[in-house]
Amino acid sequence: MKAITVLWVAAAVAMAQQRDYPVKPVPFTAVHIDDTFWAPRIETNRTVTIPFAFGKDEETGRIDNFIRAGKALRGEPFDNKQFPPYPFDDTDVYKVIEGASYSLSVHPDPKLDAYIDGLIEKIGAAQEKDGYLYTARTINPLVPHPWSGKDRWVLEGVNSHELYDLGHLYEAAAAHYAATGKRSLLDIALRTANLLCDTFGPGKREIWPGHQIVEMGLAKLYRVTGDIRYLNLAKFMLDVRGPQSKEQGAGNPYVQAQMRVVDQSEAVTGGHAVRAMYMYSGMADVAALTGEMSYVNALDKIWDNVAGKKLHVTGGVGARAAGESFGANYELPNMSAYNETCAAVGNDYWNHRLFLLHADSKYVDVMERTLYNGLISGVSLDGKTFFYQNPLEATGNAGKDQRSPWFGVACCPGNITRFMASVPGYIYAERGDAIWVNLFVANAADIKMDNGRTVHFTQETRYPWDGAVKMTVGPDQAGALTVHIRVPGWARNLPIASDLYHFEGASSEPVTLKVNGKPATIALDKGYATITRTWKKGDTIELNLPMPVRRVQAHGDVVADRGRVAIQRGPIVFAAEWPDNPDGKVRNLLLPATAKLTAEYRPGLLNGVDVVTGKAEGLAYDQQGKIVRQSQSVTLIPYYAWANRGRGQMMVWLPEIDAVARPLPYPTVASGAKITVSGKPQQRSFDAIKDGEIPAASNDHAGYFDWWPAKGNTETVDYTFAQSAKVAECGVYWFDDSGQGGVRVPASWRLLYKDGDAWKPVVAIDQYGVARDKFNVVKFTPVITAALRLEIQAQANFSIGLQKWTAK
Ligand SMILES: [Zn+2]
């Protein structure tokens, strides 16, 4: 024990000398939010999401994994027939402990505190003698683990999650120690960190984490203990990454090992987005703590690439589902946008850190865009269901068009719990005798300044629904103080600081600022209105950010958004969703460039939101294939609030011109048919197969269904008509996910029709085609029938699936 005490004293000395971010965030514990937007969300996170996520951790065996590992270490009998499903399941427990700890910091809860103590005991019991903590291996130590290989760390550079788990443990441990002052989890974390220091480094194991976050975690342990070894190790793990290594994974862009980190200049195509965001955040931390400018130079270039070419208008990043990765420059699809919730959280961690390095509001502009749109879209209003993916358009037919209470890979819910609990920490920052006001939220804060003063700062506002913000500045002692008030890019005709998006036209009303009721000039410095004066208690600042409804257009190289507009008001991006629009349809809408749009607050809708309304056109094809247009009202809701009222259509980027619009197909005999499907296809809606739309390709994931995992099977789909109909032609568009999954076009198929009670084959004129990426059309001798049947034979060893089936 003595040795620890000595270390602790040494640590305290070291802490006094620490270099860190030039600007410091005002901690969330010093900021009390009292508004109708964030306060209820944070309360829902505390009372619903955190207990719910702990419950899921228990129900799904994630906590049991620690118990089993503990039994394995003690030589007690336990069920070890199975590996834990994923080796990173441990992090789902750590992340919720982190979120719960933040919550405890501001809201004492003895029951929750005791529950976490119980979890920490289980975690401690799962730790091996030398500090190693990774339940997947400890439960089954003798056989090669599917993700992490036969021995410790051997596959770390590729995809093992041993270091990833520990990174999340460190974040949780730092949070728990700060919240409770208890060292229980911190000591467990430090034992693992000491093992890492003994294991990794020059001349020892020279490998990087297969999934980043240990860099950020080690930086936190360094801040808590002052032990320089942790910081050095974080830096080592960044510097060792790259193609120069002989380790497996060297050169692989998926884990950002295509170049040394200091040489990187873009969020590389195919690079896993969450890994990237955590790595950039870790680089910023290490740069702040060491003064390593080569990291900052790399981050500045990477930021220009992301903000200039790879950021969705909702602030989402990581466009591709394949590899959960960044796409090419300007590859920003809508329906298939992946935009993992974790990547949004990571994007905000990163942009916040860049602000702390540069004191420039352009990073806060991105952070705010993500926060109010593509991040909080990840959790339902009731706090119990989550999105893993956050697309910008939906048919309502895909599994991903509906929030889920949990996931097999459950990274996103835990990230929500920890992020939401710490939101008040993103509002203010300080340095010397200066305060930065970054976000506008009704709150009261006690800002402890570097120079020893305390400033009581308050905001009164209805933001994000209203741009009027009244602030009071109450220093505890007189003296000059600089207040930097962010004037958001969206209020300065600049959605973000790049040419990726622009507003149509100009905002007619200017931003205004008053100090103690008198108009003040706005002299912008890095996006902040800066006021230096001697403040006294009761002084006021009034900022008015006009919030007209704006039309956003994307850079012409964003193919998916050509001819389309997104609607933004203040920081909020809007979407058309099915319940608010005629016939529950929005994907056939066209919003003329001249349509007048107005905003109004609806207190009863979606916990209180602004909606944008106006006149649009609903487009449909007539029997001759000509577009028919009908004037109709359109109502848009905040994007973040979609999918809280069931499954259906949603669209952010609305067509302005016919060329990109999607008129409703003319109804056919198939449109009104009842669908019956054999076997047990995955839980999906079948309705999409008869909607007459044309899929992008056979592997389009928007609205297909399949019989996976059945293989080599024979299946049927029946159309039963309301009354007998004459049919002479069918077309089938197969689902086929070659390269990703095990579904292929079938070996063969045929059509049958109902004659009385019997199914008889039609007399086909054409071949039954099995081509990918097109309709396989079969004409046949016309039949008058009450029902049609599609009989499909899978290839051996493959499953089958269907995109569309037309009949006329
Ligand atoms: Zn996730």
Confidence of residue 6 (pLDDT cuts 50, 70, 90): very low
342 noted as active-site residue: no
Confidence of residue 324 (pLDDT cuts 50, 70, 90): very high
Task: Give the whole-number percent of the chain exceeding pLDDT 70.
Answer: 97
Query: Which of 10, 1, 42, 7 lies closest to 425, judged by CA?
Result: 42
CA of 412 to the centre of ligand 1 (A): 4
Do residues 132 and 125 lie in contact, with contact meaning Cβ atoms separated by under 8 Å? no
Task: Give the whole-number percent of the chain exceeding pLDDT 90.
Answer: 86
- When mean pLDDT is compared across 190-204, 580-594, 686-700, the lowest value belongs to 686-700
pLDDT at position 15 over 60:
no
324 noted as active-site residue: yes
pLDDT value, residue 2 = 41
Do residues 73 and 125 lie in contact, with contact meaning Cβ atoms separated by under 8 Å? yes
- When mean pLDDT is compared across 262-276, 401-415, 432-446, the lowest value belongs to 401-415
Angle between helices 214-225 and 2-16 (to 10 degrees): 100
CA of 90 to the centre of ligand 1 (A): 14
pLDDT at position 173 over 70:
yes
Confidence of residue 152 (pLDDT cuts 50, 70, 90): very high
* 727-759 residue pLDDT tens: 999 999 999 999 888 999 999 999 999 999 999
Map 664-726 to HEC letters: ECCCCCCCCCEEEECCCCCCCCCHHHHCCCCCCCCCCCCCCEECCCCCCCEEEEEEEEEEEEE
* 24-78 residue pLDDT tens: 999 999 999 999 999 999 999 999 999 999 999 999 999 999 999 999 999 999 9
* 252-270 residue pLDDT tens: 999 999 999 999 999 999 9
* 640-672 residue pLDDT tens: 999 999 999 999 999 999 999 999 999 888 888
Q: CA-to-CA distance for 684 and 705, rounded, in angstroms?
A: 6
- The arithmetic mean of pLDDT across residues 309-337, rounded, is 96
CA of 363 to the centre of ligand 1 (A): 22
User: pLDDT averaged over the chain?
Assistant: 94
Do residues 284 and 320 lie in contact, with contact meaning Cβ atoms separated by under 8 Å? no
CA of 708 to the centre of ligand 1 (A): 24
pLDDT value, residue 692 = 83
- The arithmetic mean of pLDDT across residues 349-363, rounded, is 98
pTM, to two decimals: 0.92
pLDDT at position 476 over 90:
yes
Task: Quote the tokens at residue 88.
Answer: 């990173």
pLDDT value, residue 680 = 74
Q: Which of 266, 324, 656, 693 is catalytic?
A: 324
pLDDT value, residue 1 = 39
pLDDT value, residue 701 = 78
Do residues 300 and 275 lie in contact, with contact meaning Cβ atoms separated by under 8 Å? no
Residue 76 in 3-state DSSP? coil
CA of 414 to the centre of ligand 1 (A): 8
Q: CA-to-CA distance for 698 and 338, rounded, in angstroms?
A: 18
Q: Which of 197, 411, 412, 730 is catalytic?
A: 411
pLDDT value, residue 284 = 98
CA of 431 to the centre of ligand 1 (A): 34
pLDDT at position 4 over 60:
no
Q: Which residues contact 336 (CB under 8 A, 6 or more apart)?
A: 319, 320, 321, 391, 700, 701, 702
Confidence of residue 683 (pLDDT cuts 50, 70, 90): low
pLDDT at position 11 over 50:
no
Confidence of residue 5 (pLDDT cuts 50, 70, 90): very low
- The arithmetic mean of pLDDT across residues 136-161, rounded, is 88
